[in-house]
Structure 1
């Protein structure tokens, strides 16, 4: 079957520890952590008081004062990352039919930070039962509707094709890119600008996760608070950020001499229809998604060189994933390095799936497996090779990256060198 193969030709990352894919990769490859005490607001009333914040100056990254005023922080991340990804790709979108250029944006919580801030203003710090609309900014409606993210990115890059927001919780970042791949593969578009963005570090978000005790209460050493797969872990660290990609058909990319980072060879998503936050310990749903992604990529499980795990740092997730890798990869799971970058950049909800795709692509680019930071204590139920503490030099041609989200969402994506041989 002769089908269109989809590749990544441009990318950018905005993440804790540094803006730009180069600084992002430096952080990961050096095993440094960007988690710290929350500085955006007074976290004293909350159970969890640590987060992975991005040091981001909108005007310093090319946004006009009007754009800064109009857009929530997460939308600002998305626009800056998308513009830079297009520049990185070297593609001239102005010479293409704009109706053949599309946008997909993943986000879990939309403009949470903007809504939280503006509610405090219009309610006079929560003192008014009936809010005073006179203090609302003229673009407050854009904070309410996540579709504004896709509109902003489309305007920024001049895309007039399909423009969509994908919101599937913590798998949004994988799912948005997976949906974009299908549009290119089926020929509906020639180019997709795809990625995800979230900026959820706000009082309302912290309160929500405090209520279910999902985030860590470890405050004494914020840089060591995120401990995926470690026996002493006790919840995840909230983060923020964005990653965007330029996707196009392989032969078109080769024809214009583009640098090809990787092929998105397979993608699948499933739901467990089981529990809003709970996971079955056997990992069956994630294993099903992995198997389908491998089938679409036409590769066997024993050809995976590295697994970029969801690795949130909760006991049920880490054990669920470990079981899924064993079920889908068989004995090869024990020979395959697995790591979680959330140990270094936290969990940015809907954005993290795209950020993890970027980490996977850079692992292929540099032939280095990023480590799982803060992994010192063994959990007997997590007995795979989680690359503790220190990055590892290794040939990386094929990567499996996965995501797991509240509501039972399980997604998997296979990234591969475009020059690989099909099985």
Structure 2
């Protein structure tokens, strides 16, 4: 085992994705490269009382996904997404998990709001839709622990593959996906695991979550044009579009993957994370914290700024985020920031909170796989303050060997990761 800080090399050999506009990885990539959007008016509940009434909902059928009635009853929707993605990733990897030492297999799953949907549903049942202050516990679901404890989510994934190694949930807002995958990378590098199931899941389209973002005016009120409501880096942007989704990967040590002839999507560097210690929801104008995370991620990957062929932006579509990111890219990448293509897939699949970081990692790996940079949809009037190449409207074919992906989350979290092609 290597004893250096960087340790063993880590590669992605399996992928499973569930997002709005697609039931799997192929559909997800087709949506991105076509520049189509999956943002629509909310159909899960009556959203008419809310300021923002649009979201990106996934057409997810747990029965069609092969989940049993007991599993469907036990698992929150976000957990169902994670299990479905895990099954896909395992099949895609070609790895025989039954032949592995289970104590060398782990799980690192990210989620911002965990089982918020089921918790809200149970409260509505117990309180008779909020009419009763005193509730009768007899109406409580026997699976309430699974909804209340976020740790139940990675546990379900671990049971799916028989993982008995390190199993963790990472929850630090909208950077959870990047940070969960980064944690998995570190465990393999340091020798604590040989194979990790890593990714993130969130299904936050519920009245309580919508109300929370309404209260701080972070989500878009563009209800009359939901397909064009998510418009990162556009002068007319007015907030993000809430979404749901998940992405899960099989990560393993490079030499083992190569020895078995595995298909390798990309090599992953561990994520770098910084906090602005500034404000729970506000961002600094200079972007130094994100720039520092980018520099650390580049150092971890032994990459120079000029090596970056594509930047997958956080690109939430809020006024402050997009300018904050633009400043950070300039600080971290210098003059190369003006030459490298940058785009936000949230323009097409919305913002699925903790899950989006993992979904964006999937997009980065596929960009490397196919030498295509996804576009920023709905970018018709660029903000003069966002003066980089944000790949408006149309996907771009070009050689993609090294990709930077970043995330920004409430609490001041700023994260970055570098993915590279393996020759």
Range class of TM-score, shorter chain: over 0.9
2:190 is equivalent to residue 186 of structure 1: yes
- In the TM superposition, 1:11-410 aligns within 5 A as 11-410=15-414
Give the C-alpha shift of residue 35 in structure 1.
Answer: 0.2
Aligned with 2:271: secondary structure?
strand
Further displaced range: 215-224 or 123-132 = 123-132
- Aligned residue pairs, count: 419
CA distance in 2, matches of 1:265, 1:198: 24
Deviations 1:73-108 (A, max 9, x none): 000000110111011000001001100000011000
CA distance in 2, matches of 1:256, 1:284: 42
In structure 2, runs of 5+ residues without a counterpart are: none
CA distance in 2, matches of 1:76, 1:214: 27
Give the C-alpha shift of residue 134 in structure 1.
Answer: 1.7
Deviations 1:243-276 (A, max 9, x none): 0000001000000110000000342111011100
Tell me which of 407, 410, 415 is aligned to 1:411: 415
Give the C-alpha shift of residue 137 in structure 1.
Answer: 1.5
In structure 1, runs of 5+ residues without a counterpart are: none
CA distance in 1, matches of 2:213, 2:176: 18
Aligned with 1:276: secondary structure?
coil
> Contact 1:266–1:415 at 8 Å: present in 2 too?
no
CA distance in 2, matches of 1:4, 1:406: 32
Aligned with 1:235: secondary structure?
coil
Give the C-alpha shift of residue 130 in structure 1.
Answer: 1.2
Aligned with 2:224: secondary structure?
coil
> Contact 2:109–2:154 at 8 Å: present in 1 too?
yes
Aligned with 1:60: secondary structure?
coil
Give the C-alpha shift of residue 128 in structure 1.
Answer: 1.0
> Contact 2:185–2:269 at 8 Å: present in 1 too?
no
CA distance in 1, matches of 2:16, 2:156: 17
Aligned with 1:103: secondary structure?
strand
> Contact 2:405–2:416 at 8 Å: present in 1 too?
yes
TM-score normalized with structure 2 length: 0.98
TM-score normalized with structure 1 length: 0.98
> Contact 2:50–2:214 at 8 Å: present in 1 too?
yes
CA distance in 2, matches of 1:23, 1:401: 21
